Amino acid sequence: MSPIVQGIVTIIIGVGGCIAYFYFANLVLDKVIFPARGEKAGRNINRANAVRPWIFLFPAMFALGLYLVYPVIGSFIRSLYNRAGDEFIGLANYAQLLTSDDFRIAFFNNILWVIFVPAAATFFGLLAAQLTDRLKWGNVAKSLIFMPMAISFVGASLIWKFVYAQDPDIGIINAIRATLGADPLDPLQIPFWNNFFLMIILIWIQTGFAMVILSAALRGIPEETVEAAIIDGANPFQIFFKIKVPQIKSTIMVVWTTITVLVLKVFDIVYTMTGGNFDTEILPSYMMDFMFRDDGLATAVAFVIMVTVLPVMIWNIRQSRAEMR
């Protein structure tokens, strides 16, 4: 069967299946389970109306349970078994992680990423949003700042490999060092600080995202409050930090938590730039060290990542709801 015919058949089956599901589900509900006739007609109509939303929600909840909840439970159960998956060892994999120096390094590096990247990306995004709104060519500047968002993490990493190249004729850092008479070095092999060189890549990518969201929030601030502050004698810094920033505080928190969730899952940059070497390991790259070799440990690391991400996601959802209200 040709791909075009296969696609058309899939669409027909999918759309037709949805229509058939909702039609027959309503038919069974109204005619068989809660028929609107007899002495209990009124009560049956109320019951049918109470049940009907759950019929519409059921396919989504089933798919969510199948593709989200089941893998989480399955991963946790797998993390309680040994490398081959044929012997129950309880929390031994988690105990092994706690005694591993590599895991502690990865966890510490992840904390550095969580502290530094969301704060820096949000700060530069807010700064860019404020400054570009004041420029005639602000839209051009915004497009240039937002452009890295269109680049994959691997692509961005390859670009920054040139920036960090040890050859002074290629790498900007070593070109500056050569100008100052210093010997060339590999920034990605400098312990501790190489983590920050990697973080700069993600900040470069995410600043555009923060700028777009925060720019929209800044434009939503009522002009009356800014004009009143100007009349009261406030300078531009006071207007920005004491008038504008407090009014978009909830949006700033949403941007910050969204980038935090992304940071806790980032893998490509570290894997492409250093492969986790030179003490740049983070939890996702550490998990990859055990993938296909020790699924018990790998799923234990995955579960630790999920537990770490979960509070931030809950906070993010609450902030998003507060922002919508």
Domains of the chain, by residue range, sit at: 3-79, 99-324
Q: Which pLDDT score, from 0 to 100, does residue 231 have?
A: 87
**Mind giving me the DSSP string for 165-229?**
-SSTTT-HHHHHHHHTTPPP--GGGSTTHHHHHHHHHHHHHHHHHHHHHHHHHHHTS-HHHHHHH
Residue range 138-167, pLDDT digits in tens: 788 888 888 988 888 899 999 999 999 988
Q: Which residues are CB-contacts of 183 (< 8 A; sequence separation ≥ 6)?
A: 177
Look up residue 69 and give its two tokens.
């909840």
Q: Which pLDDT score, from 0 to 100, does residue 323 have?
A: 66
Rounded CA separation 92/81 (Å): 9
Q: Which pLDDT score, from 0 to 100, does residue 118 have?
A: 92
Q: Which residues are CB-contacts of 289 (< 8 A; sequence separation ≥ 6)?
A: 102, 276
- Whether 271 shows a pLDDT value over 70: the answer reads yes
Q: Which pLDDT score, from 0 to 100, does residue 208 have?
A: 92
- Of 100, 76, 105, 121, the closest CA to residue 283 belongs to 105
Residue range 70-122, pLDDT digits in tens: 888 888 999 999 888 888 988 899 999 889 898 999 999 999 998 999 999 99
In the structure, what pLDDT confidence band is assigned to residue 324 with cuts at 50, 70 and 90?
low
CB-based burial, 52-79: b 16+ in 10 Å, e otherwise: beeeeeeeeeeeeeeeeeeeeeebeebb
- Whether 325 shows a pLDDT value over 70: the answer reads no
Q: Which residues are CB-contacts of 60 (< 8 A; sequence separation ≥ 6)?
A: none
Q: Which pLDDT score, from 0 to 100, does residue 85 have?
A: 81
Look up residue 55 and give its two tokens.
């019929």
- Whether 202 shows a pLDDT value over 90: the answer reads yes
Cβ contact 211:251 at 8 Å: no
Cβ contact 221:244 at 8 Å: yes
In the structure, what pLDDT confidence band is assigned to residue 133 with cuts at 50, 70 and 90?
confident
Is 1.10.3720.10 the CATH classification of the domain at 99-324? Answer: yes
Look up residue 3 and give its two tokens.
């791909």
Residue range 224-251, pLDDT digits in tens: 888 888 888 888 888 888 888 888 888 8
The one-letter amino acid at 78: R
Q: Which pLDDT score, from 0 to 100, does residue 319 have?
A: 72
**Cβ-based burial of 298 (10 A; exposed 0-12, middle 13-18, buried ≥19):** buried
Residue range 16-66, pLDDT digits in tens: 888 898 888 888 888 888 888 877 788 888 888 888 888 888 888 888 888
- Whether 210 shows a pLDDT value over 90: the answer reads yes
pTM of the model: 0.77
* DSSP secondary structure letter of residue 85: S
**Cβ-based burial of 7 (10 A; exposed 0-12, middle 13-18, buried ≥19):** exposed
Helix (H) or strand (E) holding 92: helix 92-98
